[in-house]
Amino acid sequence: MSAANPTPPTTVEVDYTPGPVISTAGPWTPLLWDMDGTLLDSAVAIVRRLTEVLLHFGVTPPPAEQLRYLIGPPTGTSLQRFIAPEHLDESRAYYRSLAERDGLKDQHLFPWIFSTLKTLHEAGFPMAVATSKPQHEAERLCQAYGMAEYFSGIFGGNEKRHDKAAVIAEALEQLGKKNALMIGDRFYDTEGAALNGIPTVLVRWGYAHEKEFAGAMATVANAEELLNLLMQNNEVA
């Protein structure tokens, strides 16, 4: 028996209208990093798992290039478009089992990330991860890829933090808001940051639709542009 919604979508549309853009002057501290599409190139792994979950629950998956737009929010938020509410928890658990099965398969740091983190760390920028991934998975990945040492905190989703805004709020509470900046790749990052009163820089190497960049204080195409933006006033308090 199918566990699909009565009319599951056959395409994935990015429904986003930017609100007022929050902008502040640097230096920014702390820097909050998104994970998927920002630190980690995980599209192949995530799209494969989403496809497996949808097929398992009787849903015909949209094309892979459209499933990429589901990368960013908590898994349940993505799956609820397709899966009937009474099967949503089961589908989330199945996705998590696939993530455990896959481990680090088909995902890796973007090649420029490690050197970028090292440069910012040596310049004195406090940094943390703020991701919608489950807390334990975020911690595991940071350790596995050798970047945990650069972060003052790793903040992911849990039973109390169900969306990006809540994750960012926890990070700011723990680290101090100061003049914080979110670095991400999707509108989920800009919206979550805005709800906490901080600006966002969106990277263009992630998984965003072009329309999403309108909500960011700035966008950067590569690590050099990001470092130039962050280091232009690098007297970090």
Q: What is the pLDDT of residues 113-142, one digit of tens each?
A: 999 999 999 999 999 999 999 999 999 999
Asked if residue 4 has pLDDT above 90, the reply is: no
The CATH architecture of the domain made up of 31-42+107-231 is 3-Layer(aba) Sandwich (3.40)
65 Cβ contact partners less than 8 Å away, ≥ 6 residues apart: none
Domain ranges of the chain: 31-42+107-231, 43-102
Q: Which DSSP string corresponds to 178-227?
A: TB-EEEESSHHHHHHHHHTT--EEEETTSS--GGGGGGSSEEESSHHHHH
6-18 pLDDT tens trace: 566 667 878 888 8
Helix (H, G, I), strand (E, B) or coil at 190: helix
Q: What percent of the chain has pLDDT over 90?
A: 81
DSSP 182: E
Q: What percent of the chain has pLDDT over 70?
A: 94
Task: Decide yes or no: CATH 1.10.150 for domain 43-102.
Answer: yes
